[in-house]
């Protein structure tokens, strides 16, 4: 007789309530699955017999004595590696008393010590919050006294260094802003702290969110999957840090692909939200027509959990008014393993054909979607849009940086430059290594000159692009989706594998990422697989404005169907760092 049938029969005979019987039946079903999953060996029969006896004795003891709840807790406990645990797992461990926030912070600090400051020296972390452990202790006590504020209560978060924190420097990775302490937190940082999150660290980045994946403050960042490879930019420090499990959650910023490139290059999940869904107040601007902060994490669940904490209308960022009555405060409710079953998905084949191995992984991903019931159709963008999108982007991006960076510089101390022209002048004075360990960044500083000479916000090219080019791009992409009734358009986030740190391999390729910026549409990235040289490949889910609930549902379903994320080979788990939920 199957064990579950035995549990039901005996439970009902001994007068147990139906709910208790159902609970025991589920335990016996677990017992059946567990022993069926035992490895084949010459001793298998003996092991199975012993296991069966132990399970029956333990569960029947609970049945007869009424101790079924403790038995349930003991048998359902799970041991998870730190990088495997989602926020849901960590909160379960908090609730069971097997983990504290203080201990969680210690685990992440140990990994930063082992792999950023020593070992492969990823160079992802610029500043550590010296109050993180004390904050964790306070939040642990608050949890004991009054319960958690939110699912992020006591959860460590690491921020890209262009996001203001009043208690840590915000330099955007630039020696030109070295030591700058902003007057207050960015809006989204205030939201995170109010939810009980712990700001653990500020992370290295491409300087001023553009150029090569290095900063004059911190130097080059390394990819934890292969330290000779780039983690991509400009949120490369966030991508590397989250992949290497230096924090549970990370925040990047995206103007032309700067959340999505590092997400795919480091094999994690990330989202560039709809333009206006999150405030940019307190973030060093690159181009406000495109700029968005975005959550990055090892799991889609965590991306969803973090996103809902940060949404809301900010009077200091007019773009957030677009999200009125359209934002959610809990996106985890939309995660659905069966979401692919009724989905219509377009594959943008314009962005295949640049790396055979990336193409193979994307085709395998499409097959996985079809296996879950999705309909997949080919989509092609107009060639003229592919030809001009780069120029359209630069026309707005360079001019807006020139016009908007002074507004941010006005909020920080008087010793810092106040215009782009002053930034160019000061950069010319830094031609050698600094005593603090800084280094010149001629590639990015050369771009400052081009941005300074690009034009103004009242010239005819900018006005034409802002008023007509961007709406045209929005109409084209929405029209492609409407024409075939698509939920999303998918594409390889990077059509080629990550480039070498020194730029010695092709890398990059013609990507679709700036289409999301030109339109302001949301773009979710999920790990899709690995190349033969063990480099991660991600797949993008591009949706309509404020379709994050649907995007996250589809991305979660794909993630759970494929489960391809792996720990980077240079940053393995540390001994004793498991989470017991």
- Which residues are the active-site residues? 160, 234, 258
Alpha carbons 494 and 514: distance in angstroms, whole number: 12
**Can you give 122-148 as a three-state secondary structure string?**
CCCEEEECCCHHHHHHHHHHHHHHHCC
Calculate the alpha carbon distances from 8 to 33, 50, 55, 194, 573 in Å: 17, 22, 15, 47, 41
Cβ(394)–Cβ(536) under 8 Å? no
Q: Is the dihedral of CA 185, 188, 191, 196 positive or negative?
A: negative
- Burial code (b: 16+ CB inside 10 Å, e: under 16) for 415-451 equals ebbeebeebbebbeebeeeeeeebbebeebbebbeeb
- What Å distances lie between residue 512 and 136, 228, 352, 539, CA to CA? 41, 25, 10, 11
Q: How many CB atoms lie within 10 A of CB 131?
A: 13
DSSP 50: H
Strands of 249-254's sheet in order across: 125-128, 198-203, 156-160, 249-254, 292-297, 269-272, 523-530, 536-542, 488-492, 344-348, 375-379
- How far is residue 403's CA from residue 172's CA, in Å, rounded to a whole number? 17
Distances in whole angstroms, Cα of residue 155 to Cα of each of 78, 145, 580: 19, 18, 16
- Give the N- to C-terminal CA distance of the chain in Å, as an integer: 32
Length of the chain: 581
């Amino acid at each position: 007789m199957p064990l579950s049938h035995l549990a039901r029969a005996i439970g009902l005979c001994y007068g147990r309530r139906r709910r208790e019987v159902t609970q025991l039946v589920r335990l016996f079903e677990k017992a059946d699955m567990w022993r069926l999953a035992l490895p084949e060996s010459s001793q298998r029969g003996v092991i199975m017999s012993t296991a069966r006896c132990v399970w029956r004795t333990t569960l029947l003891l609970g049945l007869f004595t009424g101790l079924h709840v403790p038995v349930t807790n003991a048998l359902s406990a799970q041991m998870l590696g730190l990088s495997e645990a989602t926020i849901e797992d960590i909160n379960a461990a908090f609730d069971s008393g097997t983990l504290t926030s203080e201990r969680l912070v210690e685990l992440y600090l140990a990994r930063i010590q082992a792999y950023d400051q020593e070992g492969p020296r990823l160079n992802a972390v610029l500043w550590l919050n010296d109050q993180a452990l004390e904050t964790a202790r306070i939040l642990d006590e608050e949890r004991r006294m009054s319960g958690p504020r939110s699912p992020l209560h006591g959860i460590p978060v690491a921020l890209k260094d262009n996001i203001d924190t009043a208690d840590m420097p915000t330099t955007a990775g630039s020696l030109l802003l070295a030591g700058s302490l902003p007057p207050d937190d960015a809006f989204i940082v205030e939201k995170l702290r109010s939810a009980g999150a712990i700001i653990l660290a500020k992370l290295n980045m491409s300087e001023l969110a553009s150029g090569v994946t290095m900063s004059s403050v911190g130097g080059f960042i390394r990819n934890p999957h292969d330290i000779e490879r780039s983690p991509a930019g400009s949120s490369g420090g966030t991508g590397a840090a989250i992949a290497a499990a230096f924090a549970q959650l990370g925040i990047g910023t995206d103007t032309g692909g700067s959340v999505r490139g590092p997400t795919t290059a480091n094999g994690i999940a990330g989202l560039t939200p709809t333009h206006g869904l999150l405030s940019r107040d307190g973030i060093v601007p690159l181009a406000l027509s495109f700029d968005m902060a975005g959550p990055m994490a090892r799991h889609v669940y965590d991306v969803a959990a973090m996103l809902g904490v940060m949404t809301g209308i900010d009077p200091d960022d007019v773009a957030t008014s677009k999200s009125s009555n359209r934002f959610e405060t809990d996106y985890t409710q939309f995660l659905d393993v069966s979401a692919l079953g009724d989905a219509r998905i377009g594959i943008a084949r314009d962005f295949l054909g640049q790396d055979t191995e990336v193409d193979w992984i994307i085709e395998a991903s499409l097959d996985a979607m079809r296996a879950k019931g999705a309909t997949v159709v080919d989509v092609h963008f107009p060639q003229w849009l592919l030809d001009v999108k780069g120029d359209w982007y630069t026309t707005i991006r360079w001019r807006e940086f020139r016009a908007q960076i002074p507004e941010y510089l006005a909020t920080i101390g008087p010793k810092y430059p106040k215009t782009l022209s002053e930034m160019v002048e000061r950069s010319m004075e830094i031609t050698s290594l600094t005593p603090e360990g800084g280094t010149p960044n001629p590639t990015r500083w050369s771009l400052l000159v081009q941005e300074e000479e690009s034009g103004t916000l009242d010239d005819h090219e900018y006005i034409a692009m802002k008023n007509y080019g961007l709406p045209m791009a929005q109409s084209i992409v929405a029209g492609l989706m409407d024409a075939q009734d698509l939920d999303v358009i998918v594409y390889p986030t990077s059509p080629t594998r990550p480039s070498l740190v020194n730029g010695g391999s092709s890398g990059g390729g013609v990507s679709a990422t700036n289409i999301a910026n030109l339109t302001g549409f949301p773009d979710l990235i999920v790990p899709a697989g690995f190349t033969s040289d063990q480099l991660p490949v991600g797949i993008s889910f591009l949706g309509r404005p404020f379709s994050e609930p649907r995007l996250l549902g589809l991305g979660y379903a794909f993630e759970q169907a494929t489960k391809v994320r792996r720990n980077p080979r240079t940053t393995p788990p540390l001994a004793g760092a498991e989470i017991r939920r």
